[in-house]
Amino acid sequence: MHAYITGVLTGAHFIDGDHSCAEGAIAAGCRFVAGYPITPSTEVVERMADRFPFVGGIFIQMEDEIASSIAIQGAVWAGKKAMTVTSGPGFSLMMEHIGLAAMTETPCVFVDVQRAGPSTGLPTMPAQGDMMQARWGSHGDYSIIALSPNSPQECFDLTVHAFNLSEKYRVPVMVMMDECVGHMIERVVIPEANKIDIIERKVYEGPKENFQPFDAGRDLVPMMVRAGDGYRIHVTGLTHDERGYPNMSVSAQGRLVQRLVDKVRVNADNIIMYKEEDIEGADVVVVTYGITSRTAIPAIEQAKAKGLKVGHLRLVVVWPFPEKRIRELAGKVKSIVVPELNMGQMVYEVERCAAGKCNVVCVPHAGGTVHQPKDILAAIEKSIRGK
Amino acid sequence: MPEELYDVEANIPANPIEDLLRMDRIPHIWCPGCGIGTTVNCFARALQTSGLDLDKVSVVSGIGCTGRVAGYMRLDSFHTTHGRAIPFATGLKLANPELKVVVYSGDGDLTAIGGNHFIHAARRNMDITVILINNMIYGMTGGQVAPTTPVGATASTTPHGNFEETFNLPFLAESCGAVYVARWTAHHVRHLTKSIKEALAKKGFSFVEILAPCPTLFSRRNKLGDGLDQMEFYRDHSEIKNGADTKTVALDFQSKIIVGKFVDKERPTYIDAMNAHYKAKFGDRYVPSDEIRKLSHA
């Protein structure tokens, strides 16, 4: 299915990542946004508030991020596609409702334009410090999907994709931007509506008797109904059975949590996206995501000019993590270098998958600005010295 | 003799609110003497006579004993997180204004952890009905002090007595902008049923506070007897004062309880204000959300 034509601003634009993200959401069919102002994400909701009256959308500025992150879930159960947008401190406040969305299988999108933390940190400066929080921030076991755009164009493309994944798997999907990508102004091309692929949730329209709203088929994703359609569903954050009724048994917990985790794990190969360059025959692979993928490029070029064989793997989907590919590469290369605008987060995943088969080097940065390419270059050189 | 004559159950008339309950979830979890079930009965009877299309009624609860109400109602029902029933209901209502959205939760859930949402939904005049069961305590977690615990009462976290000022909830609701405010007790079943029916019919933020006994964790700890004793207390110490100034209806420990309908006024709802504003500003260029909803499901 294709994008609904209302609201798709087909054409070339010169806009920043935040605005591009808003356009991506509108093109994806998002018609409900609840948010609370926080730098550097606010431009996303400002654009939604400006555009929504003309495309049949509702934006509401809630009293806090906690309210925003659950108001969108109410809207989803009334049939809308919905999203909220925030940055670090707000993202922290939303964690409980990421768990609720995972538990109740409520498709919704969380955009986090990351800034440097912890706490209030550096409100207007970039970081990538929320990557582990995106995956593990809510209590208990569940799965989510997280994407990491590295340009305003990708802020559009991946926001559309985030809605599609969310609708398909009924999981919360995070768009993990950062201040640089959010505020970077570049050319963004928005395709014609009929060139934008849209996935809608599977809607149940069968008999009302004995309908079990959380009875999933072979793809592990149950069909959805809306409040008001006469199915009289019950939705709870408690452990529940296929009927949606609370069930405090060990077996119900095991069955439900296993499925919530498996939904993404089993489908990981279909969800995972990364981009590779010059991997074949490389001695060193630089693994990046988001803005760091762009600061790594000059470092990789300089290393190549010095005669080193360096490849580049950029994570587009960060969660689920491409375990198989990293495992495979670790058996072939001498080292993997992981620059991140944090003190080392995704590098733990790389180390786990490399399992000692190659040298894994973290290039940490506490955030506030981007890496100096020379620091990444030094790490590349150091990573294979003596190997 | 024919076996049917001994079938006692066959001669018990059906519970008149059965069609509104998830009977496959009964028995419920509430303690003997708890007042929540009585309020559910009143709510169900109000719904039955409300004329509402029950397929379009959603109940949203938070966490706690009263938070379990959503799970027992055979309606679209959402059992959300602690304190956040109101913002969930806000999203539900805005996304489909045809729904009648009822928030049914407890005093701690709605006015402590959820207090921020309560005041802002009232300020916006969000078109939802909030039914608050005030048992003056956190029941499910074992009887801790709440913003509604009277001064002088004992709770598990105020073992030497509570000295914190107590919320006067009708005054709070009115001052934040609620268009319908009433208070009853679990003893006033007829008044309460009528009041819930009025609240359901009201456009805007309607609020009904219901005092209900918690014999297990409030009455017992405060040596107030059992559920029946508390109901007798409500009967003997309540005074109906419709239209009373909400400033004057604060509750004290085992003192007189002022009940009645205190506020019933008109004010544009959030959705009406939004539509009117954008229509005046943009005319035909404005595309209301419900039009898109109808289009996309035509």
Tell me the CATH number at A322: 3.40.50.920
Residue B38: what residue type? T
What is the share, in percent, of chain A residues with pLDDT greater than 70? Answer: 99
Within 10 Å of residue A140's Cβ, how many Cβ atoms? 11
Question: What is the pLDDT averaged over residues B239-261?
Answer: 97
CA distance A150 to A156: 11
**Mind telling me how many Å the CA of A181 is from chain B's nearest CA?**
29
Question: What is the pLDDT averaged over residues A96-117?
Answer: 98
Reported as half-sphere exposure (CB side, CA atoms, 13 A), residue A213 has a value of 25
* Site of tokens 């706690």: B64
Residue A71 to residue B87, Cβ atoms within 8 A: yes
**Mind telling me how many Å the CA of B75 is from chain A's nearest CA?**
5
Domain that holds residue A133: 11-195
Q: Which residues contact B173 (CB under 8 A, 6 or more apart)?
A: B118, B122, B181, B205, B207, B209, B246, B263
Residue A75 to residue B287, Cβ atoms within 8 A: no
pLDDT for res B144: 98
3-state secondary structure B208-219: EEEECCCHHHHH
Residue of B nearest to A66 (CA): B84
A94 located within any domain: yes
CA distance B294 to B298: 6
Question: What is the pLDDT averaged over residues B168-187?
Answer: 98
What is the share, in percent, of chain A residues with pLDDT greater than 90? Answer: 97
DSSP assignment of B25-45: G-S-SPPTT-SHHHHHHHHHH
Question: Contacts of residue A55 in chain B, CB cutoff 8 Å?
Answer: 287, 292
CA distance B82 to B106: 10
A207 located within any domain: no
Sheet arrangement for strand A359-363: A274-277, A310-315, A284-289, A335-339, A359-363
Residue A77 to residue B92, Cβ atoms within 8 A: yes
pLDDT for res B158: 97
Question: Contacts of residue B95 in chain A, CB cutoff 8 Å?
Answer: 32, 58, 74-76, 78-80, 82
Question: What is the pLDDT averaged over residues B209-221?
Answer: 97
**Mind telling me how many Å the CA of A271 is from chain B's nearest CA?**
28
End position of a domain, from candidates A195, A220, A250 = A195
Question: Contacts of residue A80 in chain B, CB cutoff 8 Å?
Answer: 95, 293
What distances in angstroms separate CA B183 from CA A233, B186, B189, B199, B246, one per listed residue? 30, 10, 12, 11, 10
Q: Do A40 and A171 sit in the same domain of this protein?
A: yes
Tens-digit pLDDT profile for residues B46-82: 999 999 999 999 999 999 999 999 999 999 999 999 9
pLDDT for res B289: 87
Backbone φ and ψ of B210, nearest 5°: -125, 120
Tens-digit pLDDT profile for residues A302-319: 999 999 999 999 999 999
| Res. A6: pLDDT tops 90 | no
Question: Contacts of residue B288 in chain A, CB cutoff 8 Å?
Answer: 56
Residue B289 to residue A56, Cβ atoms within 8 A: yes
Tokens of B260: 């009645």
Per-residue confidence band for B11, with pLDDT thresholds at 50, 70 and 90: confident
Tens-digit pLDDT profile for residues B252-294: 999 999 999 999 999 999 999 999 999 999 999 999 987 655 5
Beta strand A122-126 pairing with A108-116: antiparallel
CATH code, domain with A60: 3.40.50.970
Tokens of A108: 């919704």
Q: What's the distance, CA A147 to chain centroid?
A: 3
From the candidates A66, A76, A225, which should be mutated to test the interface with B, based on the most B CB atoms within 10 A? A66
A4 located within any domain: no
Tally of structural domains, chain A = 2
End position of a domain, from candidates A144, A164, A195 = A195
Tens-digit pLDDT profile for residues A29-88: 999 999 999 999 999 999 999 999 999 999 999 999 999 999 999 999 999 999 999 999
Residue B200 and residue B50 in contact, taking contact as beta carbons nearer than 8 Å: yes
* Site of tokens 């180390």: A351
Question: Contacts of residue B80 in chain A, CB cutoff 8 Å?
Answer: 70, 73, 100, 237
A160 located within any domain: yes
| Res. B247: pLDDT tops 80 | yes
Within 10 Å of residue A386's Cβ, how many Cβ atoms? 6
pLDDT for res B298: 34
| Helix residue ranges per DSSP H, chain B | 36-48, 69-72, 85-95, 107-108, 115-124, 169-176, 189-201, 227-237, 270-282, 289-296
Q: Does A212 touch chain B (CB under 8 A)?
A: no
Q: Does A77 touch chain B (CB under 8 A)?
A: yes
Q: Do A29 and A166 sit in the same domain of this protein?
A: yes
Q: Do A73 and A187 sit in the same domain of this protein?
A: yes
A204 located within any domain: no
**Mind telling me how many Å the CA of A203 is from chain B's nearest CA?**
12
Give the SS3 label for residue A367.
coil
pLDDT for res B293: 52
Q: Do A47 and A147 sit in the same domain of this protein?
A: yes
CA distance B15 to B74: 14
Sign of CA dihedral A325, A331, A333, A336: positive
Within 10 Å of residue A319's Cβ, how many Cβ atoms? 25
pLDDT for res B297: 41
End position of a domain, from candidates A163, A179, A195 = A195
CA distance B265 to A195: 51
* Site of tokens 């009977």: B23
CA-based Rg of chain B, rounded to a whole angstrom?
20
pLDDT for res A322: 98
Residue A63 to residue B289, Cβ atoms within 8 A: no
Question: What is the pLDDT averaged over residues B167-196?
Answer: 98
Per-residue confidence band for B3, with pLDDT thresholds at 50, 70 and 90: low
Residue of A nearest to B24 (CA): A245
Angle at which helices B85-95 and B289-296 cross, to 10°: 70
Q: What's the distance, CA B214 to chain centroid?
A: 16
If you average pLDDT over every residue of chain A, what do you get? 97
| Res. A372: pLDDT tops 70 | yes
Q: Do A283 and A138 sit in the same domain of this protein?
A: no
ipTM: 0.97
| Res. A386: pLDDT tops 60 | no
Q: Does A232 touch chain B (CB under 8 A)?
A: yes
Tokens of A147: 């994407």
Residue B74 to residue A232, Cβ atoms within 8 A: yes
Spatial CA neighbour of B125 closest among B56, B67, B44, B181 = B181
Backbone φ and ψ of B105, nearest 5°: -155, 180
Residue B68: what residue type? R
Tens-digit pLDDT profile for residues A286-345: 999 999 999 999 999 999 999 999 999 999 999 999 999 999 999 999 999 999 999 999
A340 located within any domain: yes
Q: Does B253 touch chain A (CB under 8 A)?
A: no
Question: Contacts of residue A57 in chain B, CB cutoff 8 Å?
Answer: 289, 292
Burial class of residue B8 in the structure, from the number of CB atoms within 10 Å of its CB (0-12 exposed, 13-18 middle, 19+ buried): exposed
A102 located within any domain: yes
CA distance B118 to B115: 5
Question: Contacts of residue B176 in chain A, CB cutoff 8 Å?
Answer: none
Question: Judged by CB atoms within 8 Å, which residues 89-108 of A form the interface with B?
Answer: 96-97, 100
CA distance A86 to A318: 18
Sign of CA dihedral B156, B162, B165, B168: positive
Q: Does A6 touch chain B (CB under 8 A)?
A: yes
Burial class of residue A186 in the structure, from the number of CB atoms within 10 Å of its CB (0-12 exposed, 13-18 middle, 19+ buried): middle
Residue A75 to residue B91, Cβ atoms within 8 A: yes
List the helix and strand counts (H, then E) for chain B.
10, 8
pLDDT for res B265: 98
Tens-digit pLDDT profile for residues A213-242: 999 989 999 999 999 999 999 999 999 999
Spatial CA neighbour of A101 closest among A71, A121, A123, A124 = A71
Residue B39 and residue B212 in contact, taking contact as beta carbons nearer than 8 Å: yes
pLDDT for res B7: 67
Tens-digit pLDDT profile for residues B128-140: 999 999 999 999 9
A115 located within any domain: yes
Point out the residue among B60, B120, B296 whose CB comes nearest to the CB of A63: B120
CA distance B99 to B76: 10
Residue A33 and residue A48 in contact, taking contact as beta carbons nearer than 8 Å: yes
Sign of CA dihedral B233, B218, B261, B17: negative
* Site of tokens 């609201």: A7
Residue A67 to residue B80, Cβ atoms within 8 A: no
Give the SS3 label for residue A201.
coil
Which domains, ranges and CATH numbers included, belong to chain B? 15-266 (3.40.50.970), 268-298 (no CATH)
Residue A82 to residue B74, Cβ atoms within 8 A: no
**Mind telling me how many Å the CA of B43 is from chain A's nearest CA?**
17
Question: What is the pLDDT averaged over residues A141-145?
Answer: 98
pLDDT for res B2: 54
Tens-digit pLDDT profile for residues B31-52: 999 999 999 999 999 999 999 9
| Helix residue ranges per DSSP H, chain A | 17-28, 42-51, 65-77, 88-93, 95-104, 131-136, 152-169, 179-183, 250-266, 268-271, 292-305, 323-330, 346-354, 373-384
Residue B60 to residue A82, Cβ atoms within 8 A: no
Tokens of B288: 């209301």
Question: Contacts of residue B60 in chain A, CB cutoff 8 Å?
Answer: 74
DSSP assignment of B127-142: S-EEEEEE-SSBTTTT
Per-residue confidence band for A359, with pLDDT thresholds at 50, 70 and 90: very high
